[in-house]
A and B are shown apart, each in its own frame.
Chain A
Amino acid sequence: MKNTSTIEVKRDILWRVYLCFIAIILVCVVVMSKAFYIQQVQGEHWRGMSDSMHQKIVELDAERGTIYSEDGQMLSTSIPQFDIYVDFGAEGLRDKSGKLFRQNLDSLSYCLSNLFKDKSGSAYKKILSNGYAKKTRYFLLKRKISFKEYQQLRQFPLVRLGRNKSGFIAEVRSIRLNPYQLLAYRTIGLNRENAQKIGLEQTYDSVLKGTTGKRLVRYIGGGVSVPVDGALDIEPENGKDVITTLNVHIQEIAENALMNMMQQSESQTGTCIVMETKTGKIRAMANLGRRPDGSYWEDYNYAMRATEPGSTIKLATLLAVLSEGKTSINDVVKVGNTGTAFVGVREVTDAERSPKPVMTVAECFAHSSNIGMSEIAYNTFAQQPDKFMKYLHQFRLDTITGIDLLGESKPRLPRMNRRNEGLHAMVTMSFGYAIQISPLQTLTLYNAIANGGKMMKPYLVNSIQNDGTIIKQYGPTVLRESICKPGIVKAAQQCMLAVTAFGTGKPIFKDCPYKVAGKTGTAHVADGKYGYNDGVYQASFVGYFPADNPQFTCIVAIKTKPYAPLHFGGQLAAPVFKEISDRLYSMYVQHSDSIRYATDIVNDSIGYNYIGMKTDVSEVMNALDIPFKASSTNSDWISVYKNGKAPAVAGKTMPASVMPSLQGMGLKDAVYLCENMGLKVRVKGAGKVTTQSISSGNKISKGQVVSIELN
């Protein structure tokens, strides 16, 4: 009885067990069927999705090329920059309820504060703790840190554990850096991501930017991707380097000279271009604009902006008149003594009262008489004002220069449709109004005269290089073999010399050891909110030097503030020109044949005098056990000289901006000192410095070359 009931119970249980077993097998079948369905029926869909989700074509950025000056200084280059983010939700960071984070918080905050020096350690601690509490996934810790700082950051506690543990994420970007900052900033231009590029960066963008590569990658864990094997990659091609014609040294001189005048006169805008006469190479192009806070910055390329030139156009008038052959520069013109006269169709006023009522053509030019110049223009072209336009065309004043820099504005000339209207415009144009041309164009015309009538195209780029190999070389381009007859060129040169000899340029150039030929210009400017009567002037000076063998042609154009006390070309622009020409003359022209070595006293072994770093000298003296009288000095440099039996030591202060005397220095010290001052050193011989190419006490500028000889 007992047994049977036990067996019955068991049987009762057994069918239930088998029922459940069958049910479970059924579920298994359903599971496998579903898997089969997903794989075989929907398979294509899922596999397709897999490819599209996990593979991606990524762009490989090409490195942008560098813009160099002619002497190999970097003007604009790409450097990496890092933005640092923190993922406070990183697994490693939150692991063990943030043990790692809390352990490293203090030391990390301290290190961050030490590195960036913008916040205190406790401030950083607060920031990090806040971020951790809020569990921010993408917290911006610090923007725009340099590669060097990034390298240091990576060694910090926590950070060095890597991205997954520390949550520190670095996003790298490539930014453009102009090591020389202000120098030719606008000419070099900007490579902006969200705005139009400008300057050389824009003009040569296609060369600089290179080609972006492409690569097919497959994502694996942790946001990391690997290239797909066998897929065709397109390697990025790095951008080429652009070697400009700019010279950092000349640019600095021009920029500084212009800046000084701008600051003194509080002028609005100013530009200065230095061109190599024979070739048309632009050696410097400075542009300064006044900012609301009164400082100046390269904010616009004024050199290429067309404005009413004023008296500098009188060269074109002179050339046109002389070309007609009916007038010579010694012909006499009556200008009267009121400063105002009616010339043909309109009233003409002189900016400066003429010194005498009757002057020669050359004197009219030299004294910049509007009346005189318009008079001769009217006399010559009254019957056919169109002809004057033809001359302007011949001098290429009706078209852009074609410089390899985008943004050159087209000249604006008046229409000469009806005869009377044309005549009026022609007379107005003859002294620089009713026509708008850019300073660069004016410069190009003057350069042609300096160059014996051959008009050169201004250009900014010497060559395109790839890893130091020249890919494309640019040379001088002749725009017009001869803009007018040689005799006329000579006559024009004489007139320009007269300007500095007894004309409007005389006050500035009277004591000049070399000859400058040029022309001043003072124009009323109506621009934007200012009208002709608001007392805004454009003061300019354009010319070349040395006049007997022209090397450089230069234009300076400054737009004054309203009612500026100084507004004449001879007062504002000519001094800037003079400062530039003085420096360039002493650097390039005067010494161009052979570098004259300035020699200080040569010391022999009896009357020795050695200069060196204080620590080095005392170490040597101590090692050699030579007793010496140490003078108390705070200077880093000391000189050891003979003083009785024992050598004496005196402190030597090294000036920061003028050439120091390198006499008696070892090579190491001399090079260290010079390069710290921004000089480039050329070395000859061995031993101690005996001669140096720049005399001590001379003003020096960055990038200048100094040759030293050691013996």
Chain B
Amino acid sequence: MAELAYIQEPFKHLQRKAKGDKYIWSSVLLLALASVLVVYSATGSLAYKMYKGNTEVYLFKQVSFIIVGLLAVYFLHLVNYKFYSRVALILYLISVPLLIYTLFFGAEINEGSRWIKLPVINMTFQTSDFAKVALFMYISRELSRKQHVIKDFKKGFLPVIIPIMITCALIMPANLSNALLTGATSLLLLFIGRVHGKHLMMVIGVALIPILLIVGIAALTYTGKTTDGVKETSKNKVAESLTSMGRFGTWVSRVQDFMYASNDDIPYQVEQANIAIANGSILYGLGPGKSRQRNFLPQAYNDEIFPIIIEEYGLIGGAFIIFIYMVFLFRCINIFRRCPYAFGAFLALGLSFSMIIQALANMAVGVNLTPVTGVTLPLVSMGGSSFLFTCAAIGIILSVARNVEQLEGKNVEPPAAQMKEEKKALQPA
């Protein structure tokens, strides 16, 4: 890993100052490095379209994002994580009206109304990214506070599940896949947080209703493959009638595309992603910056970045990215084990699991395991609001790690009052 040494050289000074888990730091830096390489390559055609082939524009953008992101990580990790416990509630309370605002007044990019524009810095950001971080922080806080009554439906279960449902319900109309992903991640956290299995099954049961509805409609309205012309018209008719119901029609047709995909009837994006994967080999890809599919694969720098990684660096490159994520997750679990305070422990788990699940969701789309959704590969996809919120989450995890290290190294007692509260929280019901 000569690259690793190379990239770490300028950061050595920072490393001495930066506290927290050095494996997590390394993972973040490696992913950022990968993002520079791949995004620079993958934005080729976008740059051609927007800036007459001046790809440096995007390189510069991405590097700026990474610098800003790393600064955010650095400063957030200096904060005592217990501060975030208080912030979590506030953030969550802000996120709900923000989501409502987006739903009604948000800018429409690629059909869904998911974005709002920040007035001063003139940047669009996806409110759901913000809401997700806020939600997971809030769940971590609630789970840690309610551990003693967690098996109780009213006292333990409802206070956590209601905020989850509110957030998911607000994300869903514009971005179903993101809502499902958030919901699934939340359920995983609830499972880890010892919520009663019976309650969890109930939630899954309720959540399945709309999903089954969509799949059911997709199956029923799909008229099969008599002839191409007939099939297309009938499908269009259904899709047309469904567009009157917001994005419902899009969902149905996407599920149809996925369910009934045969070799000659594959969505363009999936086809191009598969070609990208096929262009690479196990050990060698086409080489850095040599991607061919970047010109044809929509969102090659974003949602579909994983196939481009495989195309340029081979399966081994893809596996390496996964490996970094796994190291990251493992180290976060390690923090959880070492952290004596429930909130910090849950915070590390909640934020890391959500990030890894998002990464897996992105890769699953890339290799056509799931229908096409718009989820970025954390830290690797081209910068944007999601990149910055991921950095914020990492900053918070590192803050926990830093405190744990401090505790283990110097054995500094946390303030008495907080200690008391934490201990109380950890008492079983």
Known contacts A24-B356, A27-B364, A221-B48; A40/B282 CB under 8 A = yes
Known contacts A35-B277, A220-B48; A49/B271 CB under 8 A = yes
Q: Is A588 an interface residue (CB 8 A)?
A: no
Q: Is A8 an interface residue (CB 8 A)?
A: yes
A32 with B315: CB separation less than 8 A: yes
Q: Is A117 an interface residue (CB 8 A)?
A: no
From the candidates A20, A35, A43, A50, name the one contacting B191 in the complex (CB within 8 A). A20
Q: Which residues of B contact A25 (CB under 8 A)?
A: 326
B428 with A34: CB separation less than 8 A: no
Q: How many angstroms between the C-alpha atoms of A25 and B356 in the bound complex?
A: 10
> What range describes how many residues of B lie at the interface?
35 or more
Q: Is B13 an interface residue (CB 8 A)?
A: no
A45 with B263: CB separation less than 8 A: yes
Q: Is A12 an interface residue (CB 8 A)?
A: yes
CB distance from B407 to the nearest CB of A (A): 16
Q: Which residues of A contact B147 (CB under 8 A)?
A: 9
A183-224 CB contacts (< 8 Å) to partner B: 219-222, 224
A54 with B278: CB separation less than 8 A: no
Known contacts A20-B353, A45-B263, A46-B278; A38/B49 CB under 8 A = no
Q: Is A103 an interface residue (CB 8 A)?
A: no
From the candidates B275, B277, B310, B326, name the one contacting A28 in the complex (CB within 8 A). B326
Q: Which residues of B contact A53 (CB under 8 A)?
A: 275, 296
Q: How many angstroms between the C-alpha atoms of A220 and B48 in the bound complex?
A: 9
B282 with A17: CB separation less than 8 A: no
B329 with A21: CB separation less than 8 A: yes
One of B134-142, B225-233, B330-338 at the interface:
B330-338
Q: Is B367 an interface residue (CB 8 A)?
A: yes
B341-394 CB contacts (< 8 Å) to partner A: 345, 349, 353, 356-357, 360, 363-364, 366-369
From the candidates A5, A13, A49, name the one contacting B193 in the complex (CB within 8 A). A13
Known contacts A30-B369, A219-B295; A35/B50 CB under 8 A = no
A311-332 CB contacts (< 8 Å) to partner B: none
Q: Which residues of A contact B188 (CB under 8 A)?
A: 20
Q: Which residues of B contact A44 (CB under 8 A)?
A: 278
* Most-contacted residue by chain B among A18, A53, A221, A222 (CB, 10 A): A221
- A1-41 Cβ-contact flags toward B at 8 Å (1 or 0): 01001101100111011101100110110111011101110
Q: Is B207 an interface residue (CB 8 A)?
A: no
From the candidates B46, B366, B428, name the one contacting A8 in the complex (CB within 8 A). B428
CB distance from B420 to the nearest CB of A (A): 12
B428 with A54: CB separation less than 8 A: no
Q: How many angstroms between the C-alpha atoms of A2 and B428 in the bound complex?
A: 9
Q: How many angstroms between the C-alpha atoms of A30 and B271 in the bound complex?
A: 19
B337 with A39: CB separation less than 8 A: no
> What range describes how many residues of A lie at the interface?
35 or more
B357 with A24: CB separation less than 8 A: yes
Q: Is A704 an interface residue (CB 8 A)?
A: no
Q: Which residues of A contact B48 (CB under 8 A)?
A: 220-222, 224
B329 with A24: CB separation less than 8 A: yes
CB distance from B410 to the nearest CB of A (A): 22
CB distance from A254 to the nearest CB of B (A): 56
Q: Is B52 an interface residue (CB 8 A)?
A: yes
Known contacts A35-B277, A39-B280; A27/B360 CB under 8 A = yes
B369 with A16: CB separation less than 8 A: no
Q: How many angstroms between the C-alpha atoms of A30 and B147 in the bound complex?
A: 34
Known contacts A47-B275, A50-B278, A53-B296; A39/B315 CB under 8 A = yes
Q: Which residues of A contact B326 (CB under 8 A)?
A: 24-25, 28
CB distance from B41 to the nearest CB of A (A): 13
Q: Is B223 an interface residue (CB 8 A)?
A: no
Known contacts A34-B367, A54-B292; A220/B337 CB under 8 A = no
CB distance from B7 to the nearest CB of A (A): 24
CB distance from B370 to the nearest CB of A (A): 10
Q: Is A42 an interface residue (CB 8 A)?
A: yes
A34 with B368: CB separation less than 8 A: yes
Q: Is A696 an interface residue (CB 8 A)?
A: no
A50 with B427: CB separation less than 8 A: no
Q: Is A91 an interface residue (CB 8 A)?
A: yes
- A73-107 Cβ-contact flags toward B at 8 Å (1 or 0): 00000000000000000011000000000000000
A467-525 CB contacts (< 8 Å) to partner B: none
Q: Which residues of B contact A355 (CB under 8 A)?
A: none
Q: How many angstroms between the C-alpha atoms of A30 and B366 in the bound complex?
A: 12
Look across to chain B and name the residue whose beta carbon is closest to the beta carbon of A8. B428
Q: Which residues of B contact A35 (CB under 8 A)?
A: 277, 310, 315, 318, 366-367
Known contacts A16-B191, A39-B310; A5/B356 CB under 8 A = no
B232-290 CB contacts (< 8 Å) to partner A: 263, 271, 274-275, 277-282
Q: How many angstroms between the C-alpha atoms of A176 and B301 in the bound complex?
A: 47
A21 with B333: CB separation less than 8 A: yes
Q: Is A164 an interface residue (CB 8 A)?
A: yes
B292 with A50: CB separation less than 8 A: yes
From the candidates B49, B274, B292, B364, name the one contacting A42 in the complex (CB within 8 A). B274
A20 with B192: CB separation less than 8 A: yes
* Most-contacted residue by chain A among B49, B330, B356 (CB, 10 A): B49
A279-334 CB contacts (< 8 Å) to partner B: none
From the candidates A21, A45, A50, name the one contacting B279 in the complex (CB within 8 A). A50
Q: Which residues of A contact B310 (CB under 8 A)?
A: 35, 39
* Most-contacted residue by chain A among B275, B278, B281, B330 (CB, 10 A): B278
Q: Is B194 an interface residue (CB 8 A)?
A: yes
Q: Which residues of A contact B278 (CB under 8 A)?
A: 38-39, 42-47, 50
Q: How many angstroms between the C-alpha atoms of A529 and B353 in the bound complex?
A: 92
Q: Which residues of B contact A162 (CB under 8 A)?
A: 52
* Most-contacted residue by chain B among A35, A40, A42 (CB, 10 A): A35
Q: How many angstroms between the C-alpha atoms of A49 and B270 in the bound complex?
A: 13
B277 with A46: CB separation less than 8 A: yes
CB distance from B187 to the nearest CB of A (A): 11
Q: How many angstroms between the C-alpha atoms of A47 and B280 in the bound complex?
A: 10
Q: Which residues of A contact B319 (CB under 8 A)?
A: 32
CB distance from A348 to the nearest CB of B (A): 72
Q: Is B169 an interface residue (CB 8 A)?
A: no
B192 with A221: CB separation less than 8 A: no
Q: Which residues of B contact A219 (CB under 8 A)?
A: 295-296
Q: Is B93 an interface residue (CB 8 A)?
A: no
CB distance from B136 to the nearest CB of A (A): 14
Q: Which residues of B contact A38 (CB under 8 A)?
A: 274, 277-278, 367-368
Q: How many angstroms between the C-alpha atoms of A16 and B293 in the bound complex?
A: 41
Known contacts A12-B194, A16-B191, A31-B364; A49/B282 CB under 8 A = no
A49 with B275: CB separation less than 8 A: yes
CB distance from A703 to the nearest CB of B (A): 48
B349 with A34: CB separation less than 8 A: no
B275 with A46: CB separation less than 8 A: yes
Q: Which residues of B contact A222 (CB under 8 A)?
A: 45, 48-49
A6 with B426: CB separation less than 8 A: yes
Q: Which residues of A contact B192 (CB under 8 A)?
A: 13, 16-17, 20
Q: Which residues of B contact A17 (CB under 8 A)?
A: 192, 333, 336, 349
B409-429 CB contacts (< 8 Å) to partner A: 423, 426-428
Q: How many angstroms between the C-alpha atoms of A12 and B325 in the bound complex?
A: 25
Look across to chain B and name the residue whose beta carbon is closest to the beta carbon of A35. B367
Beyond the given pairs A38-B278, A46-B275, 13 more chain A to chain B contacts, judged by CB atoms under 8 angstroms and listed by A's residue number, are A9-B147, A17-B336, A18-B333, A20-B192, A34-B368, A35-B277, A36-B282, A46-B274, A50-B275, A164-B50, A220-B45, A221-B295, A224-B48
The 9 closest A-B pairs by CB, nearest first: A221-B45, A46-B278, A34-B367, A43-B278, A50-B275, A221-B295, A46-B275, A221-B48, A38-B277
Interface CB pairs A-B, < 8 A, 18: A6-B427, A9-B194, A9-B426, A17-B192, A17-B333, A17-B336, A20-B191, A31-B360, A31-B364, A34-B367, A39-B278, A39-B315, A42-B278, A45-B263, A53-B275, A54-B295, A220-B45, A221-B44
A interface residue numbers (CB < 8 A to B): 2, 5-6, 8-9, 12-14, 16-18, 20-21, 24-25, 27-28, 30-32, 34-36, 38-40, 42-47, 49-50, 53-54, 91-92, 162, 164, 219-222, 224
